[in-house]
Structure 1
Amino acid sequence: MTKAALNKYQDRMRRVVNYIDQNPEADLSLEVLSGIAAFSKHHFHRQFSAMFGISVYNYVQLSRMKRASYRLAFRDNETVTDIAFDTGYEAPDAFARAFRQKFGQSPSSFRSSPDWDPWLAAFEPFETSRRKYMDSNYTATDVEIITTPDIPVALMEHRGSPKNIRSTIERFIAWRKSNGLSPSLHATYNIFHSDPRSTADDDYRLDLCVATDKGLDQASAGVESGLIPGGRCARLRVVGNPDDLEAPAMFLYREWLADSGEELRDFPLYCQRVSFFPDVPEREAITDLFLPLK
């Protein structure tokens, strides 16, 4: 197969994954998905497994379950029953059995006290397949140099393995809700103090931030006042998987910075979470990366 033919083949398969990600509640039967790829339904399931290392059935189920689990953990205003129906199950009991089989917890137990270790293990083949073929390619034209103002924030530090970040996110969301700092009115930022590839788990640090100049109590549930200093920044918009920013960050450091002639300012890489999964499909989540410049 020529390179052009291979690229065309892979593009047809990527169309399927994009459709699944953008339409989790739609009819995702073998007939529908093979039609999107323009492949025979008699062979499509083997083609999908060969390319992504996971069956199309498991991919669809995990895609739906990922959105469901995020809604359970981070959207406590949504009922388990509504989430079950939206995930494609005709009855909450069927959803509960499937959820427990995948993650070892019932939906209600996961909502009250998520165990993220089996959850991460269940999604490893799903995320591996996505990283292999779905990473975006960035160019210098995707980067914009802007000047930002000072941004006063309230921040909660996550210290420890990146695998445990979701537990810190739960606490941060709960604190925001109790203080009336909704994402629609108060922008959400993350400050990346560490590179997870070269930092020991015990030393890894990331700050979860919400833009506010509201004063804080001395002991405010592990939250303190901070500041994202204004200045020149290279901004790269990332559309898609909000959990894996390593590829766009490496593009900024390894390719864009080397060719730009710019010098870095003494402040870490940070991002703004512009639109959130699961409020939007994962492929439509928007994250702006900021690389501070002199």
Structure 2
Amino acid sequence: MQKKSTHNLHMQIANDTMYYIYEHIDTDINIDDLALKFNISKHHFHKIFKEQMGINIYETIKSNRLQKASNLLLTNKFSTITQIANMCGYSSQTSFIRAFKHRFNQTPKQWRNGGYKEYSTQILRNSELSFYEKPNFDDIDVKIVKTKARPAYYIRHKGYKVKEAKKIWQKLQAWKYTNNINDYEEIGIYHDNPAITPHDECFYVAAVIPKDDSGLENTNLPHFYMPESLYATFDITGKIGDVLRFIQWAYHEWLPSSGFETTTNPSYAIFSKNQFLEEDEQFKATYYLPIRYT
């Protein structure tokens, strides 16, 4: 059994690697350089990552590239397939098309022309978090905001399951009490779009942003900075699972007709009422959708 200090170090390495992948998804990510950054051998680096994340690092990089591309193909209608491939780290359109077809059983062009609809519908139908009923969100108010960079302390978990999500948020709740944090925001971060990614493959990130983190002492939680960026925001309410249907609508319907395009930044929800900590499993949140002006 690993010592706690070793486990915490390995967890930090794996989480820092995931953050690096998200931040540099448009580049040729060099595993040798990453291992050198952490001052460990390449073999040990692979072993640590696989133990912590349950998937090897090469598959993680490929999966993230394709998930980001699947979003951009829907929302960035003025970008060519080659441009989208480049935005997600592919230098060759041929290799991108081959990898995309292997993952989604259709070409990027077929996906863009409507193939995503049935694929996404099946993802939500197969989820324990959602019964597939499609609400009408067309009358929801939209605001455009620019956020500031802020530190977020988080727990990452693979898979969207209610029981596990509740445990994660309870651990974060205990962390807040231990550190006497009274002024904070609770955030669910969707690096993996749950409307188009099988839920057993999604990494769910639950995070807390303290208003003041200068006095934190009792923490071994990893943290990163939420990026300064441009977002469309939506105030939403509902029960567990409804967030997923909203994300589907935001990416598949609102964005393509909005005049904006999206970026490779993740979307996220700030909860003023957290469904995983409430007995009635109801939530109240503001959803942040990354956009760019075109």
TM-score where L is the length of structure 2: 0.51
From 238, 242, 245, give the equivalent of 2:267: 242
SS of 1:14 mapped into structure 2 = helix
Aligned residues: CA RMSD: 4.6
Unaligned runs of 5+ in 2: 126-155, 187-193, 198-229, 255-264
Q: Aligned equivalents of 1:269 and 1:78: distance in 2? A: 35
Instruction: In structure 2, give the amino acid aligned to 1:14.
Output: N
CA distance in 2, matches of 1:272, 1:71: 19
Q: Equivalents in 1 of 2:18, 2:246: separation in Å?
A: 32
Call closer, same or farther: CA 1:20–1:206 in 2, change over 3 Å: closer
> Given the alignment of the two structures, is residue 91 of structure 1 paired with residue 92 of structure 2, yes or no?
yes
> 2:32 matched to which residue of 1?
31
Q: Hey, what does 1:140 align to over in structure 2? A: 182
* Counterpart Cα distance in 2 of 1:163 and 1:270: 18
Work out which of the residue numbers 229, 233, 242 in structure 2 matches 1:188: 233
Rounded Cα–Cα distance in structure 1 between residues aligned with 2:277 and 2:19: 25
Is the 8 Å Cα contact of residues 12 and 38 (structure 1) preserved in structure 2?
no
Equivalence for 1:285: none
- Residues 99 and 107, structure 1, Cα contact 8 Å, conserved in 2: yes
Aligned to 1:63: 64
Q: Distance in 2 between matches of 1:208 and 1:117?
A: 11
The CA deviation at 1:26 is 2.5
Whole-angstrom CA distance in 1 between matches of 2:112 and 2:67: 13
1:117 and 1:206 map into 2 onto residues whose CA distance is 12
Q: Alignment partner of 1:76: what SS?
A: coil
CA distance in 1, matches of 2:62, 2:196: 24
Pairs within 5 Å for 1:40-59: 40-59=41-60
- 3-state SS, counterpart of residue 286 of structure 2: strand
How many pairs align? Answer: 192
**Distance 1:79-1:190 versus aligned 2 partners, 3 A rule:** farther
Following superposition, the deviation at residue 14 of structure 1 comes to 1.2
State the partner residue of 1:129: 158
Distance 1:250 1:34, change over 3 A: farther
Residues 86 and 164 (structure 1 numbering): CA distance in 2 closer, same or farther, change over 3 Å? closer
Range moving further from structure 2, 103-112 or 6-15: 6-15
- TM-superposed CA distance for 1:164, in Å, is 8.0
Tell me, yes or no, if structure 1 residue 271 matches structure 2 residue 286.
yes
Indicate conservation of the 8 Å contact 2:85/2:92, yes or no.
Answer: yes
Choose between structure 1 and 2 for higher RCO, CA contacts under 8 A separated by at least 6 residues.
2
5+ residue gaps in structure 1?
A: 122-126, 145-161, 166-183, 210-220, 223-239, 255-266, 280-294
Give the whole-Å Cα distance in 1 for the aligned partners of 2:85 and 2:79. Answer: 10
Match of 1:173 in 2: none
| TM superposition shift of 1:33 | 2.2
Higher helix share: 1
Q: TM-score, normalised by structure 1?
A: 0.51
The sequence identity of aligned pairs, in percent, is 22
Helix, strand or coil for the counterpart of 1:77? coil
- Deviation for aligned residue 1:10: 1.1
Q: 1:12 to 1:190 in 2, by over 3 A?
A: same
Contact conserved, 1:54 with 1:129, CA < 8 A, in 2?
Answer: no
Identify the residue that residue 82 of structure 1 maps to in structure 2: 83
Post-superposition Cα deviations, 1:119-143, rounded to whole Å, max 9, x if no partner, equal 789xxxxx953889x9994643314
Structure with larger Rg: 1
Which residue identity lines up with residue 85 of structure 1 in the other structure?
A: N
Against the structure 1 CA distance between its residues 64 and 269, is the aligned structure 2 distance closer, same or farther, given a 3 Å change threshold? same
Q: Is the 8 A contact 2:266 2:290 kept in 1?
A: no
Where 1:27 maps in the other structure, the secondary structure is coil
